[in-house]
Structures are given as C-alpha cells and as structure tokens.
Amino acid sequence: MAGQLCWIPKFGSKGKLALHLRLESFHPWKPHTAFPGLCVPDYPIAGGSKGWATNQKLLQAGWTAISTEQAQRSFDRPMSNLINLFDDDELAA
C-alpha cells in the first residue's frame, strides 16, 4: 500500500512542520503518529524533525511526497465542491 505524505504546519506550533499522511488522495491528512503501524522511531537528534525517519521509510516504499502548498490548498476547498460528485439528474430526484 502506498499513500501520500506531506510536511504540514502543526496547529499552534508557530509554523513548525510535522509529517502528515493519507492512504488515499481523497482522505484527510492526519499526523503520522495516527498510523502506528507505519511509523518508525525518530532519530535521536536534538531538535531533529519528528517523523523524518518515517518519511524516509515511506518514500523508499513508494509513497508520494506532496508539497506543503498543495496539501494546504486541499484544506481550502469548500464543502460545496462535493456537489460536483453528483450530476443534475441525481440532485433533482
């Protein structure tokens, strides 16, 4: 199974990035720690990026890296875009 990974600012962290994952492109982004079966221990480096070892492991396993900018755009899409999943005939029924 190969998903997508991205570095997204942690809420309330003043811009510090954290590794986020999603298994499918239509799934929401979640912190890598929400996937304990995919995580590996962080390197013992003071001030090192949390999730860097997991990032390397998943990239080697064929996961796709998504830019922070692209991931943040997915947060900005209004829910009204979901209406585009249905055609007009289905909405009229």
The answer on pLDDT for 78 being more than 50 is: no
CB 18 within 8 A of CB 9: yes
Structure tokens at 28: 């929401």
pLDDT interval class at 77 (50, 70, 90): low
The answer on pLDDT for 81 being more than 90 is: no
CA separation for the pair 8, 17 (Å, rounded): 5
* Radius of gyration in angstroms for the set of CA atoms belonging to the chain, rounded to a whole number: 16
Confidence at residue 92, expressed as pLDDT on a 0 to 100 scale: 52
| Domain ranges for the chain | 4-92
Confidence at residue 86, expressed as pLDDT on a 0 to 100 scale: 53
Q: In terms of pLDDT, which residue wins out, 22 or 77?
A: 22
Q: What's the pTM?
A: 0.74
Q: Per-residue pLDDT averaged across 58-73, rounded? A: 90
36: alpha, beta or left? (left if phi > 0; alpha if psi -120 to 50): alpha
| End-to-end CA gap in the chain | 38
